[in-house]
Amino acid sequence: MQTLVTDQPEEAARHLNRGETVAFPTETVYGLGADALDPDAVAGIFRAKGRPSDNPLIVHVSSPDQISEVAQEIGDDARRLIERYFPGPLTLVLNKRDTLPDIVSAGLPTVGVRCPAHPQAAEFLRHCNHPVAAPSANVSGRPSPTDWQTVEHDLDGRIACLLRGEPSTIGLESTIVDCTTEPPLLLRSGAISLEALRELVPDIEVATSCRKGETPKSPGQKYRHYSPEAEIILVETSLKNLPTQPPAAWIGLSTPPAGATKSLQCRDLNEYARVLFGFFRTCDAEGIREIYCELPREEGIGRAIRERLVKAAG
Ligand code: TXA
Ligand code: MG
């Protein structure tokens, strides 16, 4: 398949409306979209990514009004979160409508819904005839792409169209809150922090990551994720010297240790989030064997960074 690269949201939407797969930028990471109401089109996403079929997709809407096309029984907590954070980097798990194909929700009775704030994404979604099912636009298991070149690297020739935009400003995937449970559960941390969510919904709990034998609340949690080829080594405090032979890299907020082949000192947590997945990708391209990652404090977006690092370390 020939992958068309375009800057035009309307042209990208024409492809999607023909039942094809289209990658597009969002403020979190790039997504790989298909018409959520067309099961054959959605099957194309799973094929292109090599994604396991039991891992459900997030459905993207152009405005909160569109939520009722895919979800129902929206409670008070969900309403408050929608009012405050849609459009934005937040996904809400809601009860799905029967008309939403099972392939999107991987057979679950629920659906994750998100309304991106990114201007190009918003324009693209407005030109799509229906809500758009979209996981991150990477080959399954790799770090999510935060720029169009990475999408092209992973998916060129496997998708119909790539809407080219600026690099993602947040760099980590959306916060996911399950609003179908009592109390609501934080399934994945993101730029909208637990502290901020609790200002609107004080009783939100953090989901315990899936234990053996239990059905994971977020099916994606059981898969290896965000992983570069290099080994990830987590460090709690600043290092003076790299305790290993090169080629090894370091990323964090402190002064970089001596002896690193490559290092990236981030000014703050937002920059750490924005550059992390790109750093993983560059390290792989440069043949780095080990990446030392400084764990940030578990507050604000620091919680989301820690979550990704712990998963990437396996
Ligand atoms: O920021 C984002 O959320 C990006 C952009 C493209 O919107 N999308 C994204 O999608 O990260 P994906 O598929 O890479 O991650 C979605 C996660 C998976 O772990 C999946 O298992 C979980 O959301 N998920 C989707 N639907 C769910 C549901 N109904 N219940 C629980 N978890 C769900
Ligand atoms: Mg993903």
Ligand 1 atom nearest residue 217's Cα: 31
Q: Is the pLDDT of residue 245 over 90?
A: no
Asked if residue 146 has its Cβ within 6 Å of ligand 1, the reply is no
Binding residues for ATP: 51, 55, 110, 136, 144, 188, 226
* 105 CB near ligand 1 (under 6 Å): yes
Cα-to-centroid distance, 308 and ligand 1 (Å) = 14
Mutate to test the pocket of ligand 1, among 118, 138, 176 (most ligand atoms within 8 A of CB): 176
Q: What is the mean pLDDT of residues 88-113?
A: 98
User: What is the distance between the alpha carbons of residues 55 and 51, in angstroms, rounded to a whole number?
Assistant: 7
Instruction: Output the CA 31–ligand 2 centroid distance in Å.
Output: 9
**Ligand 1, atom nearest to 221 Cα:** 19
* Mean pLDDT computed over 97-120: 98
Nearest CA to ligand 1 atom 13: 135
Q: Which ligand is nearest to the CA of 32?
A: 1
The whole-number pLDDT of residue 244 equals 87
* CA neighbor of 234 nearest in space, from 294, 304, 284: 294
Residue-wise pLDDT tens digits, 45-92: 999 999 999 999 999 999 999 999 999 999 999 999 999 999 999 999
CA of 203 to the centre of ligand 2 (A): 27
pLDDT above 90 coverage of the chain, percent: 90
Which atom of ligand 1 is least distant from the CA of 31?
6
CA distance 62 to 26: 12
pLDDT given for residue 211 in this prediction: 38
Extract the annotated binding site for L-threonine: 28, 60, 114, 134, 174
d(C-alpha 309, C-alpha 233), whole Å: 9
Ligand 1 site, residue 104, Cβ cutoff 6 A: no
Mean pLDDT for the chain overall: 94
Distance 278 CA to ligand 2 centre (A): 15
Quote the pLDDT of residue 314.
86
Preceding peptide of 296 cis, ω within 30°: no
Q: What pTM was estimated for this model as a whole? A: 0.96
Supply 140's token pair: 């399954």
Ligand 2 centre to CA of 145 (Å) is: 9
Ranking 61-65, 124-128, 241-245 by mean pLDDT, the lowest is: 241-245
pLDDT level of residue 215 (50, 70, 90 thresholds): low
pLDDT of residue 214: 46
pLDDT for the residue 190: 98
**pLDDT per residue as tens digits for the range 263-303:** 999 999 999 999 999 999 999 999 999 999 999 999 999 99
Alpha carbon nearest to ligand 1 atom 19, residue: 220
Q: Report the pLDDT value the prediction gives residue 226, as an integer from 0 to 100.
A: 66
Q: Which atom of ligand 1 is nearest to the CA of 111?
A: 29
Determine if ligand 1 sits within 6 Å of the CB of residue 8: no
Residue 120: pLDDT above 80? yes
Q: Model confidence over 153-195: pLDDT tens digits?
A: 999 999 999 999 999 999 999 999 999 999 999 999 999 999 9
The answer to whether the CB of 108 is under 6 A from ligand 1 is yes
pLDDT of residue 137: 98
Q: How confident is the model at residue 208 (pLDDT cuts 50, 70, 90)?
A: confident
Q: What is the predicted pLDDT for the residue at 221? A: 62
- Give the closest residue (by CA) to ligand 1 atom 15: 135
Kindly give the distance from the C-alpha atom of residue 84 to the centroid of ligand 1, in angstroms, as a whole number.
20
Structural domains in the chain, sorted by start: 4-206 (3.90.870.10), 231-313 (3.40.50.11030)
